[in-house]
Amino acid sequence: MPTKPVDVQDLKLGMYVAKLDRPWTNSPFLFQGFRIENEDELGQLRQHCRYVYIDPELGYDGPRFERNKPKPSGKTEPRVATGSKTGEELLPREPELRQAIPQVYQYRRQAIGFLDNVLKQVRADQSVNTGAAGHVVEGLLRSVQLNLNASMWLNNLKRRHEHSATHCTNVAVVALAFAHHLGYTGQKLIDVGIGALLHDIGLMRLPTELLDKPEKLSAEEEREMREHPESGSRLIARRDEVSSTVLNIIRYHHERVDGSGYPDGLSGKQVPEEAMIVALADIYDAMTTERPYKTPASPHGSMNIIRQLADSHFPPSLVQAFMSCIGIYPIGTVVQLNNGVVALVVGHTRRTRLRPEIMLLKHRDGQVFRTQPLLDLDKIGSDRNPEQWQILRVVNPKDFGVDVARATEIYVDRLYAKAVERPS
C-alpha cells in the first residue's frame, strides 16, 4: 500500500510517518521514518510540519507491523525500558557536560574570532598580530581541562564548507589534549596550542577555490600547497614573541619520520615531537571532516588509518599514545553491542576507553529508541546483566540508517538545553 498525505492535525498515536513535507535534516527527528509513540512527537510534528506521509501498513495496527512483530521466545529482550534498571536514566555526568558546553563554546568562539582576524590580516598583506594567541590558547586549554568530552563534541559539529579558522581551532583542541596527555605543562603546553592554532597560517594566503578544489590539483597548484609550511613560518618569524616551539610546528607539521614529508624532508628524530603532535591532530580532524573533494572517515576508521601510519610517518609509541588519548572508540563512533543494540559513543575517560558512555539509537530488531537514552557502560551493576552490554563491533552508520552528523546535533542540543545558540 502506498503512503498517503495526512494533515498534522489529524495525526494519531501509532501512525507510521514515512516522509515529511520538508527534508528530514530540517526537523528535530534523528531517523527517517518512525512510529508516533507519544504526545511530544505529535507536538513536534505539528510544530515543524503542515502535513506528512504515513504508511498505513507500518502503523501499530498495520498488517506488516503485525507480521514482523517479534514473537515471544521465553527470553528477556535486552531492551532499555523507561524507568527500568537497565540504563534509561541519564548519565551521571550529563549535568557536568550540560554546564560545560556553553563555557567551552565561548572559548571556541573566541579562538575562531581571533583566527578570522588573522585571516583578514594575511589576505590584506598586513602585519599579523599574534599577541592574543596565548590568551586564546589558555581558554582552549581551560576548556579541555574543564571537560574534554564537551570539547570533542563541539569539534564534531562539522560543516562541509567550514573555514580554516574552525579546522585550526579543532586541531588546537586535539593537540592540547594530546600534549597534556603526554605530560606537557606550562609554557611548553601553551606553545603547542599556539602552534596548532597557527599551523596552517601559510594556507590563508591561498584562494578558497584552490583549497576546496574537488578535482586533482595541477603540478603548480600542488607546489603552492606544499609551500605553506615554509611561507607560514616566515610570516610568523617576524614576530618577536613567537617561540621556537611555535615555529617548529608551523614549519615541520608535514614532515614525517621516514623522510617522505615536506618542506625539508626531515627524518627520524630530526622531526620535533611538538610538530608530530600537531600533525596527528591535523590528520585526525582532516579525515573526519567532509570536504568538497572527499567524504569524511568515521572517528574509529580515522584511528585505524593513523595506526597504519606508525613506523612510516610517526613513531609507534607516539601513535599508541594518541590512540590512548582519543580512545579506542572515539566520540562519534557508532557501535553494536553484543545484545544487538546500536549506539553512539558520547564520552569516555582515560579509565574507561573500552567501556565508554553511549547514546542508545536502535534496538536489536531495528526499532528506534525514541528518546535516545544515555548509558555509561562502566557503571552497569551486576543486577543489570553487564555481560549483555558490551561493545561487540564498530559498524558503518549507513548500514543501520544512522546519520552521525544529525545525532551529534541532537546530542549537543540536548546538552545546551537552549542555553546558548548552536555553533555555525
- Between the CA of residue 61 and those of 16, 69, 192, 198, 368, what are the distances in Å? 10, 11, 61, 60, 18
Residue corresponding to grid cell 503512503: 3
Those residues with Cβ within 8 angstroms of residue 119's Cβ, 6 or more apart along the chain or in another chain: 163, 164, 165, 204
Mean pLDDT by 10 residues, the chain (424 residues): 84 86 69 72 85 79 44 40 37 61 90 93 86 94 89 76 81 96 95 97 89 88 94 86 94 97 96 98 93 84 92 93 88 92 86 81 88 83 72 91 81 60 44
pLDDT given at position 192: 98
Q: Are 359 and 414 in contact (CB under 8 A)?
A: no
As a whole number of angstroms, the distance between CA 310 and CA 314 comes to 5
What pLDDT does residue 306 have?
94
In three-state secondary structure terms, 291 is: strand
pLDDT confidence of residue 195 = 97
129 within 8 A of 161, measured Cβ to Cβ: no
Q: Domain spanning 94-326 has what CATH number?
A: 1.10.3210.10
The pTM (predicted TM-score) of the whole model is: 0.76
* Domain extent listing, the chain: 4-68, 94-326
Cβ 323 vs Cβ 305: under 8 Å = no
